[in-house]
Amino acid sequence: QKEVEQDPGPLSVPEGAIVSLNCTYSNSAFQYFMWYRQYSRKGPELLMYTYSSGNKEDGRFTAQVDKSSKYISLFIRDSQPSDSATYLCAMSRRDDKIIFGKGTRLHILP
Amino acid sequence: SAVISQKPSRDICQRGTSLTIQCQVDSQVTMMFWYRQQPGQSLTLIATANQGSEATYESGFVIDKFPISRPNLTFSTLTVSNMSPEDSSIYLCSVLEGYGNQPQHFGDGTRLSIL
């Protein structure tokens, strides 16, 4: 079983819809959880960074961590065509390297 | 957050040659890392670039193939040596700005193709 599983997509949704992106993981020792957005020909850009379980909101983005289920989510409200990108989930233990998912390609249809 | 510049942004190289990738940060950072991103694969950590000492390599990556330098707190290089088509990939530099458990920030990468 891979440490981090992420559906590669592509995921296509109409503009204005709520997008749900998810990752599962196997290592219960992970404490730090991240979401990065990567546009074509660009590097990953940090979107959300959370510690342990719970929710974190930043504008149209909400990150959710459920450690009991080993499941993390990123919700995008009022999705825009500019949100079309690849979204990478990532996680780590304290003072350890980051483990990334393979990324989900998202297309927002105008 | 710090501005990270990578050079070159892309290159096409011949088999058997070597290429050095530069990573320049506009402010001092505590840690610098080098990653490889292959199509359909997760970002994979190659090594941690240590200032003034040898880099710390991850399993599957060796210094002879990927020599790394970090002469100061704002600059690092990664060399891909004796390249083969399997080395065609995106190579990314990332940095950690503070201490403790902080997120990493990435440059835009170097897209490398080997003929």
What pLDDT, in 10s, does the model give residues A78-100? Answer: 999 999 999 999 999 988 899 99
Distance CA A36, CA A34 (A): 7
Q: Is the peptide bond before B85 cis (omega within 30 degrees of 0)?
A: no
The residue that leads in pLDDT, A95 or B108, is B108
Contact check, Cβ <8 Å, A43/B107: yes
Residue B97: is its pLDDT beyond 90? no
pLDDT at B102: 82
Question: How many CA atoms are closer than 13 Å to the CA of A106, on its beta-carbon side?
Answer: 30
Span B57-71, mean pLDDT?
Answer: 97
Distance CA A103, CA A38 (A): 9
Q: Which residue of B has its CA nearest to A91?
A: B103
Residue A1: is its pLDDT beyond 80? no
Give the mutation candidate from B9, B10, B42 for the A interface (greatest A CB count, under 10 A).
B42
What sign does the CA torsion over B51, B23, B74, A45 have?
A: negative
pLDDT at A88: 97
pLDDT at A53: 86
pLDDT at B64: 97
Helix (H, G, I), strand (E, B) or coil at B56: strand
% chain B with pLDDT above 70: 100
Per-residue pLDDT band for B1 (boundaries 50, 70, 90) equals confident
Burial class (CB in 10 A: 0-12, 13-18, 19+), A28: exposed
Per-residue pLDDT band for A14 (boundaries 50, 70, 90) equals very high
% chain B with pLDDT above 90: 86
Give the mutation candidate from B46, B58, B101 for the A interface (greatest A CB count, under 10 A).
B101
Per-residue pLDDT band for B52 (boundaries 50, 70, 90) equals confident
DSSP character string of A8-51: ---EEEETTPPEEEEEEES-TT--EEEEEEE-TTS--EEEEEEE
Distance set, CA B35 to CA A23, A95, A100 (Å): 21, 17, 11
